[in-house]
């Protein structure tokens, strides 16, 4: 048996990456925008002036956007497999298993519990 993170959908990963980049660019723009516009010789746009006057709100909104995007990557998966065979799937069943259910499913695949009170199973790999 092995554990790991269940991969989120591709669109959620892309959205999380875009949100992270947007957050960093937005924070840089909020704090260094005046200098950037002066350096480029461009007049300061009205939208930036409004943004600069509300830096705390802008930074808070960017963090909130990034947090929502990151939460979309959480799959809530709890998948157990043994030698490539599914033992339990929270994605399929929509619920968490009980210890007795996991034990019964493992025993169906030939994994026998050790003596009473032991916390490991025998059979398969150690």
Q: Report pLDDT digits (tens) over 1-30.
A: 556 678 888 998 998 899 999 999 998 998
Same domain, 59 and 30: yes
Q: What is the dihedral of CA 122, 115, 104, 75, to 10 degrees?
A: -60
In a domain, 4, yes or no: no
Say whether both 49 and 84 belong to one domain: no
Judged against a pLDDT cut of 60, whether residue 121 lies above it is answered with no
15 and 53 both lie in a single domain? yes
Same domain for 61 and 18 = yes
Same domain, 15 and 57: yes
Buried b (16+ CB within 10 A) or exposed e, 3-42: eeeeebeeebeebbeebeeebeebeebbeebeeeeeeeee
Q: Do 54 and 97 fall into the same domain?
A: no
Same domain, 64 and 25: yes
Report the number of distinct structural domains present in the chain: 2
44 and 67 belong to one structural domain = yes
Q: Which of 28-37, 50-59, 77-86 has the lowest mean pLDDT?
A: 77-86
Range of the domain at 24: 10-71
Give the pTM.
Answer: 0.58
| 126, pLDDT greater than 50 | no
115 and 83 together in one domain: yes
Whether residues 94 and 62 share a domain: the answer is: no
Q: Give tens-digit pLDDT for 58-68.
A: 989 999 988 88
């Amino acid at each position: 048996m092995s554990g790991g993170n269940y991969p989120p959908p591709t669109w959620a990963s892309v959205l999380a990456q875009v949100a992270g980049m947007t957050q960093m660019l937005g924070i840089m723009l909020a704090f260094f925008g005046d200098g950037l516009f002066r350096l480029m010789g461009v007049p300061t746009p009205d939208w930036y002036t409004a943004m600069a006057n509300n830096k705390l709100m802008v930074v808070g909104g960017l963090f909130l956007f990034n947090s929502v995007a990151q939460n979309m990557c959480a799959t809530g998966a709890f998948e157990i497999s043994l030698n490539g065979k599914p033992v339990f799937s929270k994605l399929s069943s929509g619920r968490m298993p009980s210890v007795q259910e996991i034990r019964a499913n493992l025993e169906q695949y030939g994994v026998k519990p050790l003596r009473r009170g032991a916390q490991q199973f025998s059979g398969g790999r150690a």
